[in-house]
Structure 1
Amino acid sequence: MSAANRRERPEPPEPLPVPTVDAHTHLDACGCVEAADVATAMDRAAAVGVTRVVTIADDLPAARWAVQAAHWDDRVAAAVALHPTRTAALTEDDHAEIERLARDPRVVAVGETGLDYYWDHSPPQAQQESFRRHIDLAKRLGKPLMIHDREAHEDVLRILSEEGAPDEVIFHCFSGDAEMARRCAEAGYLMSFAGPVTFRNARELQEAAVVVPEDLLLVETDAPFLTPHPHRGRANEPYCLPWTVRALAALRGVSDERIAESAERNAERVFRLEELPPVVRSVTPGAEDARSA
């Protein structure tokens, strides 16, 4: 497949029978810059039943943009944090700005934070210190903690236990096996599944997806990354979520409608989506702060 084809968006999937929520996407990395771009991407998603998204930040510029985007479109909420691979040289000012942005009323989670031992961009000690600070922030703000966990399961679980987990914890793009899923379920942690659960070589992940309790299940794209089968390697966007929903339904032996409904219900609960203040078309204080930061 050529580089041009890999970047090309696939044709839209068949619409879902009921609406659902993309619990983790990166609209800025999907090429959205302005409000019109966000509206266009959300229109594409809504046409196939993906009616709301949480757009995620992993550094300060992305965090400022995510807050701004959440004030552009009622279908978009934001989560902000400093990604573990960005933690090698954080300052007190960096953490202070993330806290300020996280207090915005349209920010529904602190994330993505956690540990990533696959890449060596940041030493484990720096990652762990930042992770602990994000855990504390989520607890002080009363917002969910969205975790990035790559090849770091034991340390992630250990630090959550040592620090005391927030009331709501989400393992984004869950990557563990069935035993890890059971341990997370026992702790009451939510698990969000992305495109890799559709991959043919993902047997352990697929076994994990089967054992997750329905009330702890979320779905996501992690767009523009991890495009689901049969379009692996091409551009991903929230409108691609139905392929993952249908793969999960087939694995669990239930209807597409049931997965979409339960994922939406769980997203509404954990992110408190019904409590979000509506977008005000004039500039809001939170959005102005994000613009000027």
Structure 2
Amino acid sequence: MSDPSQYVRERSKEGRKELRYPAAPVPLAVPVYDNHAHLEIADGDEPLSLGEQLDRALAVGVHGVVQAGGDIESSRWSADAAASHPRVLAAVAIHPNEAPAYAEAGELGDAIAVIDELAAQPRVRAIGETGLDFFRTGEEGLPAQFESFEAHIALAKKHALAMQIHDRDAHDAVLETLTRVGAPERTVFHCFSGDAAMALTCAEEGYYLSFAGNVTFKNAQNLRDALKVTSRERILVETDAPFLTPEPTRGRPNAPYLIPHTVRFLARELDVELDELCAQLAANTLAVYGAFED
């Protein structure tokens, strides 16, 4: 696979107080999977290699990671990682905030063609993350976002893959696009950010909702409300590492091995036995992406 030293993105450390990885949580007895992470991004004072990330995850009961791309380079890295590691599956895409830059350079079509090629690889199991972001992109960049989103939807259908959606401040537009164009059979709202009403709308369409560490934040009551109205057969869990580190280690580098914190929080919120929830989360992940080890 690609050597991580040959392609690595540094996460800004500005304004962050503690940059060491936290201690490992108590392991889960029933294994789960991290539905979405960006392990090509170096984080912390002592960044972990891909192998170290996977080993730490395995030690606490996290048996696999869906590694998500957001541009050509990270999508290639993701596909290579999945091809070389039985505990990694890949998602490939042009992130909605990257689409305007490709379009301005006249390269969006070529970039999507690369994603099309990568999507044919057997351990690439999702198109993502794709979608719409009205927070970071201004009006001038929206046409490129919509063009890219619809092209990615078409790729997910063409390759019979799941699709991971990035939706930031664009709930209505994302849902309208999925209805108008037609959603792929397995559609996942990565790092779900809506409320209970949106969760019910997603339930009607059979979409999956993936909850990240921010569901543990005090100001995220909307996510907890959404969680409680979502069918357990449609719940996934993720880190979005190195972002969104869950309580009680919020503000420090995130990694797949920290997902037990989020899973235990979900179990408490849903008032369900931890092992039962873990088994359901694992089954849901495998239903969306297929088996990790061929």
TM-score, L = length of structure 2:
0.89
1:101 aligns with 2:113: no
- CA deviation vs aligned residue, 1:71-91 (integer Å, no higher than 9, x gap): 221001100000000011332
Contact 1:38 1:73 in 2 (8 A): no
Q: Provide the C-alpha distance between the structure 2 equivalents of 1:257 and 1:271, rounded to a whole number of angstroms.
A: 21
Structure 1 residues 30 and 51, CA gap change in structure 2 (3 angstroms) = farther
Contact 2:16 2:251 in 1 (8 A): no
- CA deviation vs aligned residue, 1:49-99 (integer Å, no higher than 9, x gap): 001110000011101111111122100110000000001133221111111
Amino acid in structure 2 at the alignment position of 1:136? A
Among candidates 167, 173, 178, match of residue 191 of structure 2: 173
Contact 1:30 1:223 in 2 (8 A): no
Q: Secondary structure at the match of 1:273?
A: coil
- CA deviation vs aligned residue, 1:128-180 (integer Å, no higher than 9, x gap): 11100000110011001110001100000000001011111000000000000
Contact 2:100 2:142 in 1 (8 A): no
Aligned to 2:99: 87
Q: Provide the C-alpha distance between the structure 2 equivalents of 1:123 and 1:93, rounded to a whole number of angstroms.
A: 18
Q: Provide the C-alpha distance between the structure 2 equivalents of 1:164 and 1:152, rounded to a whole number of angstroms.
A: 17
Amino acid in structure 2 at the alignment position of 1:241? I
Q: Provide the C-alpha distance between the structure 1 equivalents of 2:197 and 2:43, rounded to a whole number of angstroms.
A: 37
Aligned to 2:227: 209
Q: Provide the C-alpha distance between the structure 1 equivalents of 2:164 and 2:226, rounded to a whole number of angstroms.
A: 19
Among candidates 84, 88, 92, match of residue 76 of structure 1: 88
Q: Provide the C-alpha distance between the structure 1 equivalents of 2:42 and 2:261, rounded to a whole number of angstroms.
A: 18
Contact 1:30 1:237 in 2 (8 A): no
Amino acid in structure 1 at the alignment position of 2:123? R
Q: Provide the C-alpha distance between the structure 1 equivalents of 2:58 and 2:26, rounded to a whole number of angstroms.
A: 12
Q: Provide the C-alpha distance between the structure 1 equivalents of 2:56 and 2:151, rounded to a whole number of angstroms.
A: 37
Q: Provide the C-alpha distance between the structure 1 equivalents of 2:110 and 2:144, rounded to a whole number of angstroms.
A: 16
Aligned to 1:291: none
Q: Provide the C-alpha distance between the structure 2 equivalents of 1:44 and 1:89, rounded to a whole number of angstroms.
A: 36
Aligned to 1:14: 26
Q: Secondary structure at the match of 2:164?
A: strand
Q: Provide the C-alpha distance between the structure 2 equivalents of 1:27 and 1:143, rounded to a whole number of angstroms.
A: 21
Aligned to 2:35: 23
Aligned to 1:147: 165
Calculate the aligned-residue CA RMSD, in Å.
Answer: 1.8
Structure 1 residues 30 and 219, CA gap change in structure 2 (3 angstroms) = farther
Deviates more, 1:182-191 or 1:253-262: 253-262
Q: Secondary structure at the match of 2:41?
A: coil
Aligned to 1:128: 146
Deviates more, 1:252-261 or 1:52-61: 252-261
Q: Which has the higher contact order (CA 8 A, sep 6+)?
A: 1
1:61 aligns with 2:79: no
Q: Secondary structure at the match of 1:71?
A: helix
1:187 aligns with 2:205: yes
Aligned to 2:252: 234
Contact 1:30 1:236 in 2 (8 A): no
Q: Provide the C-alpha distance between the structure 2 equivalents of 1:78 and 1:181, rounded to a whole number of angstroms.
A: 26
Contact 1:199 1:229 in 2 (8 A): yes
1:163 aligns with 2:181: yes
Aligned length: 273
Q: Provide the C-alpha distance between the structure 2 equivalents of 1:253 and 1:30, rounded to a whole number of angstroms.
A: 36
Among candidates 95, 106, 116, match of residue 133 of structure 2: 116
Q: Secondary structure at the match of 1:222?
A: coil
Amino acid in structure 2 at the alignment position of 1:78? A
Q: Provide the C-alpha distance between the structure 1 equivalents of 2:194 and 2:122, rounded to a whole number of angstroms.
A: 32
Q: Provide the C-alpha distance between the structure 1 equivalents of 2:125 and 2:92, rounded to a whole number of angstroms.
A: 9
Compute the displacement of 1:200 (Å). Answer: 1.0
